[in-house]
Structure 1
Amino acid sequence: MSRVDLNVEGMSCGSCVKHINAALHSVAGINEVAVDLNSNQVTVIGSMDTATVIGVLREAGYPAHVVTPVINAGAKTASSVGSGCCCH
């Protein structure tokens, strides 16, 4: 089982959510669909191909792309040696 998180364009109301749910539940291998209208994100769980999911959404009128995790390269991590935090 795999999970795909997608940013989806064009969602604006409850009808959009129903349309996306119906389109995705028609795909073989999809077990769960969660649509978050506020964040414009859709999570799909199942044994499906990501490209197929994106294609189905595009055909339904909702362009989508895989969510890329934000990595904060400038974030400091706790360390027991070296400079940084004053509580060593």
Structure 2
Amino acid sequence: MDELELTVSGMSCRRCVREVTARLRDVAGVERVVADPLRSTIHLVGSMTRADVLAAFEGTTYRPVLREV
């Protein structure tokens, strides 16, 4: 299983956290999504691809920075 962590600029309120986590839950292979709104980070676990994770943000104002854990 892979783990990824994203820093998501613009994810500063509860509504933003709900929107971002909902988008990421829909990504193929994502098994777990854990948000930390205080640090603006998301931790992902599963067999998702980096490209699919980043594609989830297309058309939004959120700017993710992705790194492997």
- Determine if the TM-score, normalized by the shorter chain, exceeds 0.5: yes
CA distance in 2, matches of 1:43, 1:62: 16
CA distance in 2, matches of 1:5, 1:59: 21
Q: CA distance change for structure 1 residues 33 and 59 in 2, over 3 Å: closer, same or farther?
A: farther
User: How many pairs are equivalent?
Assistant: 69
Which secondary structure does the structure 2 equivalent of 1:59 belong to? coil
Gaps of 5+ in 1: 70-88
Which secondary structure does the structure 1 equivalent of 2:17 belong to? helix
TM-score (normalised: structure 1):
0.69
The one of the two structures with greater contact order (alpha-carbon pairs below 8 A, sep at least 6) is: 2
Q: Deviations over 1:20-53 (max 9, x none)?
A: 1110111111000011111011111100101210
CA RMSD of aligned residues (A): 1.8
Q: Deviations over 1:37-77 (max 9, x none)?
A: 110111111001012102212434311012488xxxxxxxx
Gaps of 5+ in 2: none
Pick the structure with greater CA Rg. Answer: 1
Paired position in structure 2 for 1:44? 44
| Residues 1:53 and 2:43 are matched in the alignment | no
Which secondary structure does the structure 2 equivalent of 1:42 belong to? strand
TM-score (normalised: structure 2):
0.86
* Consecutive aligned runs of 4 or more in structure 1 exceeding 2 Å deviation: 57-61
| Residues 1:18 and 2:18 are matched in the alignment | yes
The 8 Å contact of residues 58 and 64 in structure 1, kept in 2 or not, is answered as no
